[in-house]
Amino acid sequence: MLSVIIPAHNEEARLPITLVELRAHLDHQPEPYEVVVVDDGSTDGTERILRDAATRWRELSVIVQTPNRGKGEALRRGMLEARGDLRLFTDADLSTPIIHLSRLRDALTPTTPIAIASRHAPGAVIEQPQPALRRLMGAVYRRLVRTLVLPGIRDTQCGFKLFTAEAVDVCFGPLRTHGFGVDPELLLRARHHGWTIAEVPVTWHHVSASRVSSVRDSLAMFRDLLRLRRAARHWPPPGPTAPPTVERSGRRLTVRSRAVRTGVDLVVERARELLDGRDHPLMIALDGRSGTGKSTLARTLAQRLGASVVIGDDFWAGGQDAEWDARTPRQRVEEALDWRRLRAQVLEPVAKGRRASWRPFDWTRGEGLSERVLELEPTAAVILDGAYSARWELSDLIDLAVLVEAPEEERRRRLERREGPAYMAAWHRRWDPAEAYYFSDVRPPASFDLVIRN
């Protein structure tokens, strides 16, 4: 099967013609296919257009994630949840015509599992060039990429790249870049694994109304490039690639990446890799549903890493039971954690090497903040323990997002021991809908750096 993945943000004007062109081409190919569009927090009519198209096109599936998380995160989710043996991602404007897919496919070999479209390889044709400023910024960025991380690659930014399923697992599973600078990391991970990359000349045309800002996004991409260069020095040597596992629940399909493994040792191993040569604290978020054993895991990690633990419940903002019960699951997720206070009072000071201080929520009264003041001196690592701790509003400060899972029966047994059997029905009615929404629509398993089965 072939999968075509499209990240989209506010693309109501350009997507309709792209979908028509894709279908006209793919319907006439001999192999089965799917098209996966990831709506990355659009505020226009993008989702409506996609939902309407999906009713008439059974091969089209739509993933909606809110808020906007960046092209890199949209690509990561779409590529990991796709099912194809070959997976192509393309920009929503289809600047590279879909007919060039066959060229990329022909370039794949057992040691070259990635083929990328290039506007600057010999034989490429640019029918409609970019404006002069965009061309200048692009030339500077290409030179920096070749100098800093990827010598020999002429064009990392053309949004038309083909991966085998194995290459998706290796390159997208541990992906850390969320924005437009995602492509160099993908290709560097491929090279780090010992693979070669085929650069294929294509015909390309610039489409106006691009979502990339020449100055703002170029500066962000440059910062991503410097971070990538530093981080790559500490990547572990490549090992054998385990195939992804597929889990199906009703119509929902989840493809687990290589990062999904069992054991606290994996978290320790990854944390130590990230700590090597680091001059500021490592932020680890342990997220997961109630009863999965996050607090036990946090204590174990703290002992082994010499880390401090911050309890997410200190920043509870969900109000009293009656207020909580009146909210929708989405509202509960948005309001359960005072992430602004957590960010301002703990994460930002610690990231700068300063002492953090905060007043925890007063659970004895069930409202307001305690008179106690907690303080935290920066340590090598800081662990955030609690549901919703890896929420996207904190992602720029979190270095390692870990999802803690447990078998459902075991999770319920733990909750019953903790809360008492008389409260169980009310507990599940009160908390399960919000957690189910968060871990399916907001922070699905494929979006975490690691998934630990506890």
User: Do residues 106 and 152 share a domain?
Assistant: yes
DSSP-derived secondary structure letter, 445: G
User: Would you say residue 243 lies in a domain?
Assistant: no
Do residues 228 and 267 share a domain? no
| Domain containing residue 36: CATH number | 3.90.550.10
Sign of the CA dihedral with 391 first, then 397, 401, and 404 last: negative
> Which residue range is the domain that position 359 belongs to?
259-453
Choose one of 232, 249, 280: the last residue of a domain.
232
The answer to whether position 247 is within a domain reads no
Q: Are residues 155 and 204 in the same domain?
A: yes
Q: Is residue 254 part of a domain?
A: no
The stretch 259-280 carries a mean pLDDT of 75
Judge if 163 and 274 occupy the same domain.
no
User: Pick from 190, 216, 232: which residue ends a domain?
Assistant: 232
Q: Residue 422 falls within a domain, yes or no?
A: yes
Percent of the chain with pLDDT over 90: 40
Question: Could you tell me if residue 245 is inside a domain?
Answer: no
The residue to which tokens 């459902």 are assigned: 408
pLDDT at residue 309 greater than cutoff 90: yes
Same domain as 171, residue 274: no
Whether the per-residue pLDDT at 65 is higher than 90: the answer is no
Beta bridge partners of 86: 2, 164
In contact, 167 and 185? CB cutoff 8 Å? no
In a domain? residue 49: yes
Q: Are residues 126 and 195 in the same domain?
A: yes
Distance CA 10, CA 40 (A): 8
User: Of the candidates 193, 192, 190, 131, which has an alpha carbon nearest to the alpha carbon of residue 161?
Assistant: 190
Q: Would you say how long the chain is, in residues?
A: 454
What is the pTM for the complete model shown?
0.61
324-380 pLDDT tens trace: 888 899 999 988 899 999 999 999 999 988 999 999 998 777 678 888 899 999 899
Nearest to 198 by CA among 298, 121, 129, 276: 121
Q: Are residues 228 and 282 in the same domain?
A: no
Same domain, 142 and 268: no
Give the CA distances from residue 328 to residues 69, 335, 339, 432, 434, in Å, rounded to whole numbers and listed in that order.
22, 11, 19, 12, 8
Residue 248 falls inside a structural domain: no
Q: Can you give 229-263 as a three-state secondary structure string? A: HHHHCCCCCCCCCCCCEEEEECCEEEEECCCECCC
Looking at the structure, tell me whether residues 278 and 178 fall in a common domain: no
Q: Are 95 and 224 within one domain?
A: yes
The answer to whether residue 192 is domain-embedded is yes
| CATH for 311 | 3.40.50.300
Give the pLDDT band of residue 213 (cuts 50, 70, 90).
low
191 lies in the same domain as 313: no
Q: Are residues 36 and 175 in the same domain?
A: yes
Give the pLDDT score at 257.
Answer: 41
pLDDT of 223 over the 80 cut:
yes
Count of domains for the chain: 2
Residue 348: predicted pLDDT: 94
Whether 209 has a pLDDT exceeding 90, the answer reads: no
Q: What per-residue confidence (pLDDT) applies to 450?
A: 86
